[in-house]
Amino acid sequence: MVFRKPLSVGQVAGVLHVSNKTVLNWIHAGALKAFTTYGGHFRIWPVDLERFLRTSKMSIPFAYVEERQSTVLIIDGDSDYAQSLQRILHDCLQNTTVLASGDGYEGILMIGEHMPNVLILCADSQESDSLHILGLLKSRKKKNGMKIMLLCEGEELAARFKLRNSIADCALKKSVDRETLLSTLQQWLTNNSDNPRGK
């Protein structure tokens, strides 16, 4: 079997022929690198498992393909806008998967599933959904290195978000020109390729 996506603790235990508890002990001891999903479960990138096998001098066959690309997730209650922005970014950003959600709850689930490098969160005048999502991300953002861009309806709203939500890396007007938006994203994604998640 060739692994392409992050493995669960159970999958790693199956590959190494050990118990789940043994895998968890390695993770907690820092011997096996893992990240945590937003549901609180450990996941292990195949390349990190392969590194662990080499470091531990275990001669266990393990085949994988490194397919980690940069991922951008757009969350906006206006699904038409989200899909339009998704098409633009898909055409302009190389080696990048661009996902979109028109629903806050679905968007949170997608964050946990896809672990995006960049989250573009569109805030309307109501603010409630955006603030809720930012609150949920507060404890996880640093650990996973995700960049957060807020796109707001107006300058006043952007300024309020910038002041109140330190986990956001930048707050821009939703009407920001395409060049500024792409320049910021490309800089973040270039930095990410130099320091990929999970390594």
Number of residues that this document lists for the chain: 199
Beta pairing, strands 35-36 & 42-44: antiparallel
pLDDT confidence bin for 126, thresholds 50/70/90 = low
pLDDT at 9: 95
Tell the residue number behind the tokens 């999970």, with chain if given.
Answer: 198
3-class DSSP state of 110: helix
Angle at 153 between CA 104 and CA 145, to 5 degrees: 55
Q: Which amino acid is at 82?
A: A
3-class DSSP state of 151: strand
Tell the residue number behind the tokens 């946990």, with chain if given.
Answer: 112
How many Cβ atoms from other residues are within 10 Å of residue 161's Cβ? 22
Determine if the pTM surpasses 0.85: no
Mean pLDDT of 31-42: 81
pLDDT at 145: 76
Q: Is the pLDDT of residue 72 over 70?
A: yes
Nearest Cα to Cα of residue 67 among 1, 137, 4: 4
Rounded Cα–Cα distance for residues 24 and 115 (Å): 21
Task: Map out the domains of the chain with their CATH numbers.
Answer: 2-64 (1.10.1660.10), 70-193 (3.40.50.2300)
Which of 15-29, 102-116, 148-162 has the least mean pLDDT? 148-162
Q: Is the pLDDT of residue 26 over 50?
A: yes
Rounded Cα–Cα distance for residues 67 and 83 (Å): 24
pLDDT confidence bin for 162, thresholds 50/70/90 = low
pLDDT at 128: 61
Contact 63, 2 (CB under 8 A): yes
Rounded Cα–Cα distance for residues 7 and 27 (Å): 13
Residues 6+ apart with CB under 8 A from 46: 3, 4, 5, 6, 7, 62, 64, 65, 66
